A and B are shown apart, each in its own frame.
Chain A
Amino acid sequence: MYENIIVGLDLIATIAFGVALLFAVRIPRSIMDQPSKTFLALCLGIYVFVGLSNILEHGQITDCLDHYEDYVEIFFPLFFLFFIYSVITKQELNSRKLAEKAARHALKDWEDIFQASGNPTLILDAEHDVISANRATVGATGKSKEALVGMKCYEIMHGTDQPPEGCPMEKMLISGHCETVEMEVEALGSVFLVSCTPMLDDEGNLQKVIHIATDITESKQVEEEKKTLEDQLRQAQKMEAVGRLAGGIAHDFNNILTAIIGYSNMLQMKMAEDDPLLTDVEQILSSSQKAARLTQSLLAFSRQQIIHPKPVRLNEIVVSVEKLLLRLIGEHIELKTNLTDKNFTIMADSGQIEQVMMNLATNARDAMSEGGMLTISTELVELDKQFIKTHAYDVKPGMYSLICFTDTGEGMDEDTRKRIFEPFFTTKELGRGTGLGLAIIYGIVKQHNGFVDVYSKPGEGTTFKIYLPIIKSAIAETKAEIIPPPRGGTETVLVAEDDEVVRTITKAILDRFGYKVIEAVDGEDAVIRFKENKDKIDLVILDVIMPKKNGKMAYDDIKKLWPEIKAIFTSGYTKDFVDKKGILEEGINFIPKPISANELLRKMREVLDK
């Protein structure tokens, strides 16, 4: 029984080792190489032999092998050891091959990335010597890769034999970490953001340096353009704010002047021709006229003055004022005109444009106290969207006439240039300039839908460029206007004015010229007074801006009571300004303040006689 069990176990072992041997032979070479397979087969073969011997011996079939199997068995551990060693060696070889392949791939990937980088990139040693350079560097420098290798980085980038000031590599060698510096690279003609990154070994020693130069020229330009645009916008906003302030002051001041001029006129009319006080009154009137001109200048700057644009030829305006300008600038300054032969027309108030030229000539004269040359030239230019966008002008693209005033005077610095159009800003000594000349130019040109540009540097003179839009319409013939003398009347007039002084002087003038006057202190009062006297009133004079109800609202209410009523509006603001605010309709009768007695009387007769 015992022997049978042993024989059975030996049989199982023999069959199992035999099957294992068959499987071992069939193991593919890709998994196990031939020497390993041979050693495994020998191991398994030994135990097929040992098992077979045991069956023969324990089954008492034959003892011919005479325990040879015991000696054969000795080789099993050796062969198995060889088998394992062979497998491990092969495995090691495979993993080394795989690692080498991965390293080759990684190296290729790194090289591809290095070469594909759009930024000029160098690999340097600690002595600034180039070890490798990418395609972008080759393209940017125009040198071959071979020529670049071995050169110093500063030789390539700056063409110097020493590292430049602020060299990021030098900084990195001191700090030991990545350093980035913005620098102008003359050799490449651009501004670069240069970064130097150290590559250290396991012990922290510097092995190589990655030197990357990123071209930021374009972004710098965009940044500068943005800054310029912001400056221009800020300047335009400032001018707008100052203009509003100046306009507001002029408006209130005009009300005061209306009273002064009105009462002075009244006094003048009442006085005898030989009255000794007449000269004093004339002085008051003369000073008031000067003050009125000042408010007019402020209104010109704030673009609230009345202009009378007509189609005119720019060259003709220049020619017409040339002689006047010659006298204005004096003999020590040479005047040169260089007018375009293109015959173009602009929509402008000739008087205002002449005023611009006079102011510019005065300015040029003051800038050339030692003498020099003033050149006036005209041109026809096309402004595209890009130009307007770059210069941040609030104008439409198209054809523009250009007047250039170039002097060879002292010029000005940037800070002055930025402020010259501000009202009351002057660099002239006290009493020589009002500081309104250029502000008026700014206002007039803006009112003509144009713009002014100034180019100047200290010691290099100044050029003013005035751009005005051209038109295609023909030039209308102008006829001299005949102004009729003022006449009085007997009609009844309702005067609605919130400013008591203005209201009183208006009443006094009208009383004197035979009119019957009903006064109202605001818009609401005007409507009440009209209701009370609607059968008598022939004309209403309304201030546009009044408390409770403005002039327009009061007029609308009055019109409901009597649709045929005639009206005249007055305001310290100009009609254009009031129109823009949408207060008054087209075709209304309007008198800007300060109102002179003659103007008021003439307008009243004109409206009443219609």
Chain B
Amino acid sequence: MFQENEVLNLILALISILMFAFIFKKMGPPRLRLLYIGFIFILCGYLFTVIEGVIWLEFFNLLEHLCYAISGILFAAGCLSIIRHSTSEQAKNNV
């Protein structure tokens, strides 16, 4: 059986996606591609958490943790790329 908080997580994540879509359409998406993909992986993790309560517990549990690990790497890479981008921008301005 799946837990209530896991379903709530999934619903909130889906609502946040809808809101992203709305905001992006109105204002244009910021250049944070790696962070978005990381967020998608977290969302997948939420989905697998819910599914594991119904079928193939171990498999979907593994996928869930794998998604979190990948998401963590993507977030780290995303933040690093933001810092690098800012450094190169500063160098350009100094020139």
User: Which residues of chain A come closer than 8 Å to B82, judged between CB atoms?
Assistant: 23, 27, 31-32
Task: Check if A14 sits within 8 Å of B20, measured CB to CB.
Answer: no
- Knowing A9-B69, A50-B68, A84-B20, the reply to whether A20 touches B75 (Cβ < 8 A) is yes
Evaluate whether A16 and B75 lie within 8 angstroms (CB atoms) in the complex, with A5-B62, A9-B69 already known: yes
CB–CB B12/A74 < 8 A = yes
Q: How far is the CA of A318 from the CA of B71 in the complex (A)?
A: 119
Q: In the complex, what's the smallest C-beta–C-beta distance from B31 to chain A, in angstroms?
A: 9
A2 close to B12 (CB less than 8 A): no
- Give the CA-CA distance A84 to B89 in the complex, in Å: 21
> Quick one: given A27-B82, A30-B86, are A77 and B68 in contact (CB under 8 Å)?
no
| A2 x B62 contact (CB < 8 A) | yes
B55 within 8 Å of A by Cβ?
Answer: no
Which residues on the B side are within 8 Å of A17 (C-beta)?
Answer: 72, 75-76
Instruction: Please report the C-alpha to C-alpha distance between residue A73 and residue B45 in the assembled complex, in whole angstroms.
Output: 11
- Is there an interface contact between B16 and A78, defined as CB atoms closer than 8 Å? yes
Chain B neighbourhood of A28, CB < 8 A: 83, 86, 90
Q: Which residue of A lies closest to B19 (CB)?
A: A81
A44 lies within 8 A of chain B by Cβ: yes
- Check if A51 is an interface residue, CB within 8 A of chain B: yes
* Contact A88/B72 with A20-B79, A70-B5 known, Cβ cut-off 8 Å: no
Residues of A within 8 A of B42 (CB): 47, 76
**B86 and A16 contact, CB distance less than 8 A:** no
Q: CB distance B16 to A77 under 8 Å?
A: yes
Task: Tell me whether A13 and B62 are in contact (CB under 8 A).
Answer: no
Determine whether the beta carbon of B75 is less than 8 Å from that of A81: no
Nearest chain-A residue to B3 (Cβ)? A70
A13 & B69 in contact (Cβ 8 Å cutoff): yes
Chain B's nearest CB lies how many Å from the CB of A608? Answer: 105
A-side contacts of B15, CB under 8 Å: 77
CB distance from A542 to the nearest CB of B (A): 94
Interface size on A, residues (CB 8 A): 43
CB distance from A108 to the nearest CB of B (A): 22
Residue pair B79, A54 in contact (C-beta under 8 Å): no
Measured between C-beta atoms, what is the minimum distance from A22 to chain B in Å?
A: 8
Q: Is the CB–CB distance between B76 and A23 below 8 Å?
A: yes
Checking B28, B73, B83 against A12 with a beta-carbon cut-off of 8 angstroms, the contacting residue is B73
Q: Smallest distance from the beta carbon of B15 to chain A beta carbons, Å?
A: 8
Do the beta carbons of A9 and B66 come within 8 Å of each other?
yes
**Residue-wise interface mask of B (57-95) relative to A, using a CB-CB cutoff of 8 A (1 in contact, 0 not):** 010011001101101110110111011011001100000
Task: Give, as a whole number of angstroms, the nearest-CB distance from A575 to chain B.
Answer: 87
Interchain CB contact under 8 A, A16 and B16: no
Q: Which residue of B lies closest to A36 (CB)?
A: B30
Residues of B contacting A338 in the complex (Cβ-Cβ under 8 angstroms)? none
* A15 on interface, CB distance cutoff 8 Å: yes
Please report the C-alpha to C-alpha distance between residue A44 and residue B72 in the assembled complex, in whole angstroms.
8
Known: A6-B62, A91-B27. A77 touches B76 (CB 8 A): no
The answer to whether A26 and B83 have CB atoms under 8 Å apart is yes
Interface residue A524 (Cβ < 8 Å from any Cβ of B): no
C-beta contact mask, A79-98 vs B, less than 8 Å → 1, else 0? 01100110111011000000
Closest 10 CB pairs of A and B: A16-B72, A23-B79, A20-B75, A20-B76, A9-B65, A31-B86, A13-B72, A12-B69, A77-B16, A13-B68
A residues neighboring B (CB under 8 Å): 2, 5-6, 9-10, 12-17, 19-20, 23-24, 26-28, 30-32, 40, 44, 47, 50-51, 54, 70-71, 73-74, 76-78, 80-81, 84-85, 87-89, 91-92
Instruction: List 22 A-B residue pairs with CB atoms under 8 Å apart, sorted by A's residue number.
Output: A9-B66, A9-B68, A12-B72, A13-B69, A16-B76, A19-B76, A20-B72, A20-B76, A20-B78, A23-B82, A28-B90, A47-B68, A47-B72, A47-B75, A50-B68, A51-B72, A70-B5, A70-B6, A74-B9, A87-B30, A87-B32, A88-B24
